[in-house]
Every structure is written in structure tokens, then in C-alpha cells.
Structure 1
């Protein structure tokens, strides 16, 4: 049971929600009905970040020893071999699912393998490159969105659009999550800098200045959304989604005021709630229905459940160095 709990915390269920939600948004843009193919796509985009989190738990031990020391104990309990098997079994299941969905999804699977293995790979270490790393991180929602937009009833077909909505919304989602990637790396400032990772926050002179950069980028993308709705070929009803700028900017204000690792970490955790609710509202705005509302509510419920039961390796208790009794494996 201890091993199982450690694995669950390392694959981080609360972070597995934005990818399937982005996929559902893309499918809503494609006006695809909720069917078995849709369920398979959701499963695919839950497994992908799960495999990526298991991979990161194994490759990020040096910086985690500084940023989230308790994670080292979780890796020791779960077992490096077990985590590596989760990665490759997950990629195998994703291939089977993609073959059942479409040719396009199979091509996307190959790209997903590169993202899962290359983002934190010791050889490529894409996460350590300022712009490329954030672009790859942003694909965690952009790629599922593209997969949803390209969903059809045929294994071979690729849909055609007369509207610019799929492209405009896809570009926004990319930059929206790019900004989130900057914010995500602020709590890890010290460990990333010590490990030599050149993330955008790590290039700043201090963690406080990095928080200001993240706050500016996050505020800009949320405030830009209602403007984009008004000037682009998007349904006017999506303007209400811009209200998410209020909690997003408010949370960034708390990050700028943060002074301890726990405070920075809590701001990052709250931001995931903002991101999930934002995508839930976006899904409902694109395709208003009981099904869309239910998907958003389920996502929020999963978030609350994982936090109530402490099923995440970034919980505050794991930030305590005294908890970690193991070193970084050779």
C-alpha cells in the first residue's frame, strides 16, 4: 500500500486533468458527439501526462532534492524500475488507443512519445532551455486540443474548417499554457538554478523577480482572452470566460507577495484550480450542454479529492527536508 500511495502521488492525479479537458475543447470545436472514440481520446490524454510525470520523477532527482525533498523518499518507496515500467507501459497503451482512433491520432502518438521522453531526458533536457522548454511544456494542452480538433468519424479523414476559430483558439491555448509554464517554474527557482536548468525564472536575478515575470505573463494572457473574443471569429458568449482573469491575477498577486517555499508552492497549486476551471468554462462556452458542464464538474471534483486526501508529491509536507532520508541515486 505504501508503494501504491507513493506511485499515485508521483504521477500526480491533479495535474492529469488539463490535457483531457483541452482534448474535449478541441472535440467541441469539431462538434464531435460524445462517443467511444471520444472516451478513448480522453483516456489517451490522461495516460500521456501520467507517463510524463512518472518519467520526470525519475529524471529530476537532483533538482527535486532541493525543491521537493520529500519526493526522493517517494521515488525510493515506489522504485525507479516500477516508475520506468509505468512510462513504457503507458506509451504502449497510448499506441493501441491511437490505432483505434485514427491515423492522425497515431501520428500524434509519435509526437507524444517525443514529448514524454524528451522533456526531462538527460540527453535532450528540453525543460532546461528557456523558450524551447516552455514551448514543449505548452504542448501538454496544445497537442490534446489539436487531437480533438482533428477528430472525425473516419479513421482516414482530416476535417476541414471554414472558420478561423480552431486556429485562433489553438494559438491562444499555446500561449496561455506557455505563461503557466513560467509560473510553474517559479517555486522551483532555487533547485533549478542549482541544477543548471536555464528555465525562464532561473534566468532572473531572484525568485521575487521571477514571480513578477510569471505574474505579468499570466495576467496578460487572461486579460487578452476577452479582447481576442471580440476581435476574432469566436462566439460572443465566450467573453464570460474572461472572468477567470480575476482569480488568475489575484493568485499571481499572492505569488508576488510570497517569501517562503511553501507560499510559492501554494500559489502554484491554486493556479492549477484556475487552469482547470478556465478550461471547463471554455468547454461549456464552445459547446453549451449538460455533458460539457458535467465534464468540468468531474475535473474539479477530482482536484478537490486529490487535495483532500493529499495525493500529490508537491503537497506542503514534502517540502520539508527532514522528511527525505534518502540521497540522489547514482
Structure 2
């Protein structure tokens, strides 16, 4: 059970929600009913970030030793080999699901594999490239949205759109999560710099400068959403999602005021709640229904459960100290890409 718990904490359940929510938004834009096919797509887009988190856990040992020292103990408890089996097992199940869903989803499976493996792979290490890394990170919501928006009535068919509104919303989601990517790298400033990763915050003169850039980018993208709705003639009810500008800006104020790893980490935790609620409101705005409301509330409930149960590798005590047996033998760490 302790090994199972370590695996759960490494795959980070609270981070697995934005992708399926974005997929549901895309399916709603395609006017596809929430049927069994959508359920398969939701599972696909839960497994994608789950696989990415399992991969990151065993490739990011150097920076995690500085940023999240307690995670090294969780990797040791779970076992590098088991985490790799979770990674490749998830990718395999995703292939089966994509073949059941649609031709478009099958093509996107290959793209998803590249994103999952390329982001933190020792060979490609896309996360260490400032713009490309954030663009790949943004695919965590953009690819699911595209997959949902291409969901048709049959395996081969894709929907026909009479306007560019779905494209505008997809571009917005890309920019929105790009800004989130800048924010999520601010708490990891010291470890990323030590590991030689060239993230956007690391390119700046200080962690505080990175916090300011993240705060401005995040505030700007949330403020832009109501203007997007009005300019593209989207339904006025989508404007309700714009209310998330208030908690988003309040959280960014906390970020520029943060000085300790714990304070930065709490900003990141709160930001995930803001993101999930925003997507939930967006989903409800695109398709106001009981089903959409239940999906959004369920996502928030899963996050709350993960936080109350401590089922995450970035809980505070993993940030502040490493457990006595936190070290991961270098010979095992070296097996990651073999």
C-alpha cells in the first residue's frame, strides 16, 4: 500500500483535471452529446497527464532535489521501474482508446506520445527551452480541446463549423495555459537554474522578476477573455467565466509577495483551483446543462480530495525537507532513458 500511495502521489491526481475538462469544452463546441465516446475521451485525457507526471518524476531528479526534495523519497518508494511501467502502460491504453474513439483521435495519440515523452526526456528536454517548452506545456489543454472539437458522429467524420469561434477559443486556451506555464516555473526557479533548464523565469535576473512576468501574463490573459467573447460574438453567458479574473489576480498578488518555497508552492496550488473552476464555468457557458455542472463540480471535488488526503508530491512537507531515505541511487536514476 505504501508503494501504491507513492505512485499515486507521483502521478499527482489534482493535476489530471484540466485536460479532460478542456476535452469536454471541445466536445461541447462540436455540439456532441456527452455519451460513451466522450467518456472514453475523458479517460484518454486523464491518462495523458498521468503518464507525463510519471515520466517527469523519474527524469527530473536533479531539479526536484532542490525544488521538491521529498519527491525523491516518493520516487524511491514507488520504484523507477514501476513508474516507467505506468508511463508506457498508460500510453498503450491511450492507443486502444483512441482507436475506439475516432480517426482524428488516433492521429492525435501519436502527437500526445511526442508531447508526453519529449517534454522532459533527457534527449529532447523540451521543457528546458523557454518558448518551445511552454508551447508544449500549453498542449495539456489545447490538444484535448482540439480532440473534443473534432469529435464527429462517426469514426471518420469530423464536424463542420460555420464560424471561427472554435478556433478563437482554442488560441485563447493555448495563450491561457502558456501564461500558466510561466507561473508554474516560478516556484522552481532555483532548482531549474541549477539543472541548467532555460525556462522563462530562469532567463530573468531573479525569482521576483519571474513572479512579476507571470503575474502580468496571467492577469492579462484572464482580462482578455471577456473581450474575446464580445469580439467574436460568442454567447454572452460565457462572460460569467470572466469572474475568475478576480481570484486569479489576487493569487498573482500573492505570488509577487511570496518569498519562501512554501509561499510560492501555495500560489501554484491555488492557481490550479482557479484553472479548474474557470474551465468548469467555460464548459457550463458553452453547454448550460446539469451534466456540464456535474462534471465541473466533480473536478473540484477530486482536487479537494487530493489536497485533504495529501495525495500529491508537492504538499508542503515535501517542499521543505527531504525524508531520511529520500536519495535515489544514481545508477537507478541513470536507467530512466534506457
Per the TM superposition, whether the score is higher than 0.5 is yes
Partner of 2:336: none
Take 2:239 and 2:140, find their aligned partners in 1: how far apart are those partners?
24
Q: 1:15 to 1:322 in 2, by over 3 A?
A: closer
- Trace 1:110-149 onto structure 2 (pairs within 5 A): 110-149=110-149
Residue 202 of structure 2: SS of its match in structure 1?
Answer: helix
Partner of 1:20: 20
Partner of 1:60: 60
Partner of 2:29: 29
- Give CA deviations for 1:239-269 in whole Å, capped at 9, x if unaligned: 1111100000000000100000000000000
Partner of 1:237: 237
Q: 1:52 to 1:122 in 2, by over 3 A?
A: same
Partner of 1:182: 182
Q: Indicate if the aligned counterparts of 1:70 and 1:324 stay in contact, CA closer than 8 A.
A: no
Q: Indicate if the aligned counterparts of 1:12 and 1:50 stay in contact, CA closer than 8 A.
A: yes
Take 1:92 and 1:167, find their aligned partners in 2: how far apart are those partners?
30
Partner of 1:103: 103
Take 1:328 and 1:5, find their aligned partners in 2: how far apart are those partners?
18
For normalisation by structure 2, the TM-score amounts to: 0.96
Deviates more, 1:227-236 or 1:161-170: 227-236
Take 2:233 and 2:324, find their aligned partners in 1: how far apart are those partners?
52
Partner of 2:319: 319
Alpha-carbon shift at residue 117 of structure 1 (Å): 0.4
- Trace 1:117-266 onto structure 2 (pairs within 5 A): 117-266=117-266
Residue 45 of structure 1: SS of its match in structure 2?
Answer: helix
Alpha-carbon shift at residue 322 of structure 1 (Å): 4.1
Alpha-carbon shift at residue 157 of structure 1 (Å): 1.0
Alpha-carbon shift at residue 28 of structure 1 (Å): 0.4
Alpha-carbon shift at residue 328 of structure 1 (Å): 4.4
- Give CA deviations for 1:25-49 in whole Å, capped at 9, x if unaligned: 0000001011110100000000000
For normalisation by structure 1, the TM-score amounts to: 0.99
Instruction: Flag structure 1 segments of 5+ consecutive residues without an equivalent.
Output: none
Instruction: Flag structure 2 segments of 5+ consecutive residues without an equivalent.
Output: 331-338
Residue 168 of structure 2: SS of its match in structure 1?
Answer: helix
Residue 323 of structure 1: SS of its match in structure 2?
Answer: coil
Take 1:37 and 1:285, find their aligned partners in 2: how far apart are those partners?
22
Take 1:47 and 1:324, find their aligned partners in 2: how far apart are those partners?
32
Partner of 2:335: none
Take 2:144 and 2:153, find their aligned partners in 1: how far apart are those partners?
17
Take 2:298 and 2:3, find their aligned partners in 1: how far apart are those partners?
27
Aligned residues: CA RMSD: 0.8
Residue 152 of structure 1: SS of its match in structure 2?
Answer: coil
Take 2:304 and 2:19, find their aligned partners in 1: how far apart are those partners?
17
Q: Indicate if the aligned counterparts of 1:71 and 1:324 stay in contact, CA closer than 8 A.
A: no
Residue 120 of structure 2: SS of its match in structure 1?
Answer: coil
Take 1:178 and 1:225, find their aligned partners in 2: how far apart are those partners?
14
Partner of 1:11: 11
Q: Indicate if the aligned counterparts of 1:26 and 1:144 stay in contact, CA closer than 8 A.
A: yes
Take 2:320 and 2:247, find their aligned partners in 1: how far apart are those partners?
28
Take 1:325 and 1:154, find their aligned partners in 2: how far apart are those partners?
52
